[in-house]
Structure 1
Amino acid sequence: MAFSLSAAVVGAVLGSVVLAVALAYLARLPNAAGGLKLWALSFFVHALQLLVVAPDPLTYDPGILFVSESLNGLTAVLLLAGTWRFLGNRGRPAVFAALLATAVGWALTAAMLDLSFFWTTLPQYVFMAGVMLITAWAFWSRRAEQRDNFTYIAVLFVAWAAHTLGYPFLGRDPELAPMGFLIAQGLTMAIAVGFIVLVQRRQAKDLAAAREAAVEAERVAAGREDHIRAVLNTVADGIVTVGADGRVSDFNAEAERIFGMHAVTVVGGPAAHVLPAEDHEAHPEGGLIVEASTGLGEDGRAVRATRTQARRGDGGLMTIDLRVACMRDAQGLHHVAVVRDISEALVTEHLDDLLQRLDQQAFRGASLDQVAGMAAERMAEVSNLPLVWIGTKELDGTVSLRGTAGERAPEVSFEGEIRWDAAMPEFCPAAEAVRLGETQQVTISTLVGPPGPCVRAIKGLGLDGVTAVPLHAQNEVVGVIVLAGDPAHLSRPDTARIARAGGRLGSAFQIVRDQERLRLQGTAMAAAANAIFITDLNGSIEWVNDAFTRLSGYDRKDVLGKTPAVLKSGVQSPDTYATLWRTVKSGRVWRGEMVERRKDATLYTVDQTVAPITDEHGKITHFVAIHEDVTERKRAEERIRYLANYDTLTRLPNRVLFRDRLHQAVSHARRMQKALAVMFVDLDRFSRINDTLGHAAGDQLLSTMAERIQLVAEDADTVARIGGDEFAVIQSDLPNAEAAAVLAKKVVDAVGTTVDMDGHEIHLGANVGIAIFPQDGEDPDHLIKNADMAMYRAIRSETASYYFFSSEMNAEAQVRLGIEGDLRRAVERDELTLFYQPQISVATGRVIGVEALLRWQHPEQGMVSPARFIPVAEDSGLILPIGEWVMSEAMRQSRAWLDDGLPPITMAINISAVQFRQDGIIDRVKALIAEHQVDPTAIEMELTESMLMQDARQAIELLTDLSDLGIQLAIDDFGTGYSSLSYLKQFPVDKLKVDQSFVRHITTDANDAVIARATINLGHSLGLRVVAEGVEDLETYTYLRAENCDVAQGYYFGRPMPADQIADLLRREAAGESLVPEETIGTAAGA
C-alpha cells in the first residue's frame, strides 16, 4: 500500500484529539493535578494545526504557513505552561504571553515579507526547540519525585527539540519530509502518553496519601474523646450530663469539687442523687436537671438558667447558679447542666454591701463602736451564728470590745481584760489571733488548761466552737472578729469565707479609725505652731490654720479663694516657683526656703514644704503647704556665718573667707582667661603703737587703716584682714600690671597718711607684696605664698614700698600707665564732664551751694572713677589742662544757672596740688572770672590740708591772693592730713570741711563723734564755717544740727548729679519743696 501523507495527518489529528480528551477528562477528576487543562489544550491546538495543513502538508503558502507556525508556537508555549503548573512552579502569565507573542510575531513577519520556507521556519523551530528544551529541563530538575517517568519525558522533549531543529533543513525534501512528519507525530503521541502515565501515578500517590490521612484521622478521632474529657476537667464550672434515661453520663472534675462527690460514684446513677427535682414523682431519676430542661429545644441553643440551693456530699447546703440545655447526637438526647457554686460570691456580695455601709458611716463621722456594731450584726446575719463579736487592738496592749451581734449576744458578759501584748496564763483565742496575726479555731470542750475571759463567756452560753480571725490593714493587725457556735457549723466553707473576709473588714475599720485620726489631725493642724494651708489643683487656697493668719497677718477671708501669690515678696525668681509647681504636680514633695511678704509688707523667711494630696486612685486632688518661720534662725545663722567669715574688729573678710573668694576668683580668671592680682599688705611700725599706746589704741588704728585700705581699694573684689597687722586684697579682671601698681600705691599712700589719736600724731607705713595670676601661680596657695614672699621683699627693700613677685613685672609696673593715653584722648574728645553734689544749710535745710566733681565717661569702660585717673593726671601733668577745664566749666555752669533765673549758690571747685603750685594760677583765675562774668564771692576753692602743709608759707601767700579776689577758700578732708593749729590760724580760709570718715559713724562711734564735735568747735572758734561731708541719714543730720554745724553734704541730700538735675532741684526748692523734713528745719531754727 502506498504511503499517504494526508492520511497520516488525519490519523495524527485523531490521535491528538483522543489524547487531548483523555487529558481533559483527567483534569476534571477530584484533586486533579495542575496543568492538565493546559496540556489538553495544547494537543487540541496541535490537532488544529494539523487540520490547517492537512490538504497539503508540504505547502509553502505564506498564509497557511503563518497560521500553522503560529499554532505550533502556541502548542509549545501551552506545553511549557502546563508543565510549569503541573510541577507546582509559580509562573508569570506575562512571560508565557511574551513567548507566544514572539512566535506569532515572527510568523507574521515572515508571511508579510514573503520569506522562503527556510527562513520562515528556521527561527520558528529554533524558538520551539528552545521551549521544548526548557520543558525538558523542568522535568529533569524534578526527576527525584518520579525518577523514571520524569526522565522519560525529559528525554522525549530533548529528542523532539532535536528533531524540530532539523525540520527547516529536511522539510523541503519530498522523500525525507514524510518520515520526519511521522517521527514528529510519534514523539508527540509518546509525550502525551507519558503525560497520562504521570497523572495516573500521581493520582495513585495521592490516593495512598489520602488513605494514610484517613488512618490518622481515625487515630485522632479515637483520642478526641479523651481530649474533650480532659478539657472539660479544666473548665472552671461543673458540668453534669444526663442521658434520656435520667442517669448521669458525664461528671467533670469541677463538679466533683463543687458537690464533694467522686465521678465513679455518680456516673451511671440517677441525676436526682445530685440535684433532686422539686417534683420528685414527675422526675424520679433525672431530678432537677431533667425537670429544668423540659420544653427546651434539642439543638443546644436554648438555655434555661436558675439559682437554687443544693446539698454537698457532706450534707452541707450551698447556693448554685444552674444553666441547663438539651442536645441530641448519635448517642441520643442529652441534658447538659453547667453548675457554678456562688456561695462565696454571695458572701462577698453581702460583705461588699457591708463595707459600703461601713464607708458611708465612716465618712458621716460614725464612731468605731457604731461601725463595729453594725458589722457584727451583718456578719451574724450572713453566717447564721448565735454570737459574733468584734474587738480592736489598742496601743495599751488590750483588746477592746466594740460590737456584738447574734441571738446570744445580749447574754454575753466578759470578766477581766483581754491582753494581746504578752502570752496570757489563760488561753484566749481572741488575744492569740491579735498577737500572732493568725486565725485561731478551737473546740472549747477539748481545751487543756484554764480558759481565758472570752472562752469563759462563750462557754457560759453553751457554745463549744470558737473561731477568732485577726483583722488586717496595711500588713498590721488592727482588731479581731470572734465567731461562736457549733464546731460543725464553724467548719462550714461559708463560715471560712467569712473568716477570710477579715482583711477587708480590717481595712474598713482602719478607715474609720483613720477618719477619727483625721478629725484629731484637723484639730491639731488648726492649733499647730507652723503655718499650714491647703490649695486645690489650681492653687486656690481652701483652708488655712490659725498659725497662718498669725504669721502672714492675713485673715482667712483675705486669702480663701486666692492663690499663694498674695505672699510673694519678689525675692524669689519665677524659675523657683516654676520648679515648685513642676515638682508637686509630678507627685513629689518640694522643700525649700522662701522669703514671703506679710500683709503689712514686712518680709519673713520660711522653710516651706509643699506636698501633693492624692485620692484612693493616686490622683492628685490638693496640695498642702507648711511654713516654718525661720526668720530669727536665719538671722542667727547669718551672725554665725559672719563670725566665721569676717573679722569682728575691722568688719573685713577674714582669712577663711579670703581663701574662699580667692578660689572663686582664680576659677573665674582661668575660665575667662584673665589675670588677677593678690596683694599682701603689712603695716609698718604697728607693733610699737600697741606697745606704747595699748591694745585699745591699736585696735582703733587697725579699724582706721582697714577703712582707708577699703576706701582706696573700692574697685577691688575683696579686702581682708588675714592676721594681726596684715591685710590682703584681691583685684580681679586685671588689665595689666600697672593697674595693680596703681592700687598698691594708693594703699601705701592711704596708710601713710597721719592719724591723730588723742593728740598723738601717728605715722604708719605700708609694705605691699603683689602676685599675679597666672604668671606667679595658677592656684590660690601659690598666689598666697608668692604675694607673702613679695611683701617681705618690700619690707626688706629700702626704696620700694610695694614689690611684685617677679622682677620683670616690677619693671613693667614702673612703665607709664596705659591709662595716660586714654586720658589724653579724653581731654581732646571732651569725654570729661562735671557732676554736682548739693551743699545744704543745716539751719534752714536749703541748698546754698554745690561741689563740682569731675567724671570721665570712657567710650569703652563707661564711667571711670576719679580715683583711677586723677593720680595719673597728676603724674603726667594732664592735671593742669584738666584742672583749668574744670574751673572754666564750673564757672560757666554757675553763670548759666543765674541766666536761667535760678537763685545764686556757691560753686565749690577742687584744686589739685599741681594746679596750686602752678605759676600764674592767680592770673588764670582772674581771667576765668572775667570770661564767665561770675561773682568771685560765689566761687569756693577747696584745697586739702596735706596739700597746704607741703609748703605752708607759699600756701599762705597764694591763699591770700585768692582771698583778695573775693574767692571763698575751704580746707578739704580736714583732720586726715597734718594738723598744725599754728598754721591753720594763719591760712585765710573761710571753711573747714570735716572728712566723711569722721562724719559717717558719728551716731554710732563715740570717737568719731568727739572728733567731729571738736572740729566744729575749732572752726567756730577761728571764725570759720564748718562743712560736714558724708551725711547719709537723718540721724547724722540731726546730730550735726545739734552741734551747730553750718553746712552738710552727702547722699542723704543727693548723690552727685548732672547740671540739669541740680536746676530741677533748685526750682523745686523755690516752689517750697525741701530736702529735709520740715519739722527738722523748724527745730533747727528754734535751736
Structure 2
Amino acid sequence: MRQVIGLQASGDFDYGRVHGRQYAMVTERSGTRIVLHSFAALVTYWICRDSVPQTILLALAATLAFAVGYAFFLDRRLSDAEERFFSLAEMKQHALGACFKGLTWAIGLGVLAFSGAGDKLALLWAVAGFLILSSSVSRYSAPLSAICFALMVSAGGLVASLAAFNYPLALVVLATGTFACFGVIETARTSLGARIAELAMQEKSETVSMLLREFEDGQADWLWQIDVKRRLRSVSPRLAFAMGREIADVEGKSFLQLISGDGWKTGQFPASLHDLADRLKGRESFSGLVVKALVNGQVRWWEMSGTPMFDEDGKWLGFRGVGSDVTTQRESSEKIEYLARYDTLTQLPNRLQVNESLAEALAYAEQWRTRCALLMIDLDRFKAVNDSLGHLIGDQMLAQVAGRLKPLMDEGELCGRLGGDEFAVIIRDAADRRRVDTLAKAIISALSAPYHVNNHVLYVGASVGSAIGPRDGRKVEELLRNADLALYAAKDEGGGTHCEYEPSLHSVAEERRVLEIALRSALERNEFELHYQPVVDANTEEVVSFEALIRWNSAEHGFVSPAKFIPLAEDTRLIVPIGTWVMQEACREAARHWPDHVKVNINVSPEQLIEPDFAGTVVRALSHSGLDPKRLEIEVTESIFMRDADIARKALEQCMALGCSVALDDFGTGYSSLGYLRKLKFTTIKVDRLFVQGAAQSSPESLAIIRAVVAMADSLGMTTTAEGVENEDEADLIRRLGCNKIQGYHFGRPMPVDDVRKIFSRGGRRKSA
C-alpha cells in the first residue's frame, strides 16, 4: 500500500514510470480544482455573510486564493511527468502543497466556528465534505496528495465539531475522512494496476514491432498474409522484393497464381505447391514447409510457416505467416548431396549410390521373385597409361570411358564408378539372362576401341565379372564380393573377357586367402629353397650360368607351384622380402661353391625395383657373400617399364654401375617396344620359349622374330639366350639362327643345390645326356 500511495519505492518494478503517468493526469484537472474551490469559497461566504465579520472572510479568502494558486503552480509543473523519471521526492513535494491547501480549509472551519458561525458548522462541513469528495475523485491519480488534503480538512472539521460539543458531527467528520482515504487508496490501486498492465502491453507491442522491423529488414525474410480467397493482403516490401514486383502489382492478387508461373495455366504444379494449397484449404498451421516457387522465370525455394486467423466469433479470416528465401541453402544442399552420390570426374554414380541401387534391386528381385545382376568392370592395362603418361591423361581417359558406358545402358540399368579404373553396372530386372552376356560383350567392345587423348592414341581393354542376385548373394556385400571374384577370374584369363560367378570361384578365393596366410610365415619357417637351371654356351655347350628359381614346400600345403604363389607374393608385396632372400642365398651359393667363370641369374620383380633401396639390397648381398658383381646377372621383364619406369631404370643403372649385367626376359611376349632397348643398355635378350617352339615347328613368324632379335642384339652389342630348348634338333636350330646361349630341359632341368655342386665336382663341363 505504501508503494501504491508513493511513500516507498519498489525494487521489482519501476513505479516511477507508473506514477509519472498518473501525476501527469493531475495537470489536466488543475483548472477544474480551481473552479471547485472557488465555488466552495462562494458558498461558504454566503453561509457566513451575516454571522462572521467581513474582514475575517476576506482574510480567509485571500489565504485560500494563495494556497489554491500555489497548488495550481505545483500541478502545472507535473505536465511532463509522463515523459521523465518521476521521483518519490516530487510526490511528497506535491503532497505538501495539498497539505497547505487542506490546512487552509481546516483553519478556516475553526475560525468560522469561533467567529459566530458555530450554529452553521454542519453546513460548513457539508461544503468541506464536498471538497474532500471532489478531491478524491479528481486526484485519485495522485493518492498521497488526495489523502493529505482529506486528512487536513477532516482534522480541522473534527477539532471544530469537538470544540462546539457537536459530537454527532464529529463522528460524521471522522467517518468522512476515513472512508475518503480508503476510497482514494482503492481507486489508486485499481488505476495503478491498469496502468501497469497498459505499460506491459506497450512494452510487448514495442518489442514485437522491433522484432518485426528487424525481421523485415533481414536479407531474405518476409511476412505474408492472405484472405479467405487466398489473395495477398498487407504486402510487405520484403515480400514484394522476394516476388520481384512492386507492392501495388501483387496486393489483392492470388498468392498461388503469382508463384506458380506457367503452371497456373497448365495445371502442372510442383508437389510442394500442391502441399501448400492443401494446407491452406484445410486451414492447418504449418511450419518449415519448403515450396518451389517460380519468380520472374527463375526457380526459387521458399521456406514458409503460417497459421490461420480467426475473429472473436471464430470466423476464419485467412492466413498469416513468415517466409524465407532458402534458394542458396537448397542449392548448396543439392550440391553436397550430388557430391556425396556422384563421381566428380566421370559424373557417374559413385560407390555409395551403386550400393544403394544394388540394395534396391535385390529388394525388388526378392519381392517379385525375379533376378537382378551386377557387372564389375575393370580396365586392362590402364595402370600403364597412368604410369607412363601421368594421372591427368588417365583421368581424361576415364571420362571418355564413362561417356562410352552411358549410351549402352537401357531402362532399369545403372552404371557407376566404384573407384580407380573399376566400374559397375546394375541391371534391375535380369530375368533375361542373355542381356547380361550381351551387355558385357558390348562393354568390352566399346571400351577396347582406341582413345584419343591430348594427341595420344591409347589402347586399353576391359574385363567383366558378373553375379546374379539373389542366386549369387542376397546381400549387397555378398553380390559385390562374388562379382569381384568373377572379375578376378576374367583377369586371370588374360583380360578382355566376361566371366560369370561360379561357386568354385569362392573356393579358389578361399584357397588364395589361406595360401596368403601360409606365405606370410614361409620365410620364418625356412620353407623356401632355390633350384638352379643351367644356361650353356650355344657352341661349346659349356655351362656359363645358372638361373636361380625359387621353390616352396609348405608344411600345410605341400609343394606349391611358383605359377601360383609368385603372383600372390607380388599382389601382397611379399615378393620384396622373398626376393631379398633369393638374392642373398643365390649370391652366397655362387660365391662359395661355383667356379669363378659361372654367373648366377636372379629374376627380379617390378615390385622389388620400385623399392627405394633396391640397389642397396644388391650391394649387401654382394658384400656379405663376397661375389664378384660381374658374376651377377639380374633378369627383368618388359613389365618394369609399365610401372614407374624412371625409378626402375635408375635402379638397374645403379646395379650396372656396380658391374652387374641385366637381361631382358620374355622379350616379344609382353608390351614389346624397341624404345626399351634405347632407354637401358641390356647385356642379354632372352628369347621366349614360345618362339623357340614355333621355330622348331617351322613357323615363319617365329623364325623371322628370332632372326630379327639376334640381328638387333648383335648390332647393339648384346647377347641372346634361347629358352625352352628340349631336344638336340631344337638346339641345332638355335645355333644356326645365331643365338649365343641356350637354356632348356635338353641341358638340364631346375635342380637342387647339391646336384649343381656335383656338376662342378665332375669337371665343370656338362652336355646333354
TM score, norm. by length of structure 2: 0.43
TM score, norm. by length of structure 1: 0.31
Which one has a larger percent helix, Structure 1 or Structure 2? 2
Larger Rg: 1
